[in-house]
Structure 1
């Protein structure tokens, strides 16, 4: 489903930094990478708190006025990604539910931000 995408992409970026720095598996980490790794490990302890509802349409379908799919893509110089939500509008309430997300680490070769935005749009499609 990709509901951990914002968390996992940070680890992917960290591994890319390790590769760029040429750090082998048995070498000590640089201070900045070690700090990033420690922060990531601390935050991993909170993942159990994430709750994703199983039902995408909380009210009976007959009572639903409209269902909308919203997909967003975005990029930075480090990564790009997309997320999809389902918006359900009924008489008494509107609910928005997470459907899925994807992310990719930006290539090592320098790419312009508009190009990365296009790559985000591609995985959003």
Structure 2
């Protein structure tokens, strides 16, 4: 009886110690979320009549334009003194004036890319009947 009582007492002691242990708190993981890109960026690809392709990425927030032409990249800054959207650096100038896309080398006045966008047709004209 004494042996049984000791065994039960030991069993209760083991159960009480394991039952009273709470799982440790998980370490709090704080992650800093990357700030969302709040820049206003527009990306356009134009193809001229010769099949040459130009990619223009305009960042309106930073007032910059990135032009990709013939495997080269040109970084330009918006020019407020010139009309419509015009961006330039020391050597190159990009402009989008009334649908005329022009990219040129300023020092030698050489046009590298030119495209005149077609104006959208309004459809057949409606005649008024009297």
Q: Shorter-chain-normalised TM-score: which range?
A: under 0.3
Higher strand share: 2
RCO greater where, 1 or 2, for CA within 8 Å and sep 6 or more?
1
Larger Cα Rg: Structure 1 or Structure 2?
2
Higher helix share: 1
TM-score (norm: length of structure 1)? 0.26
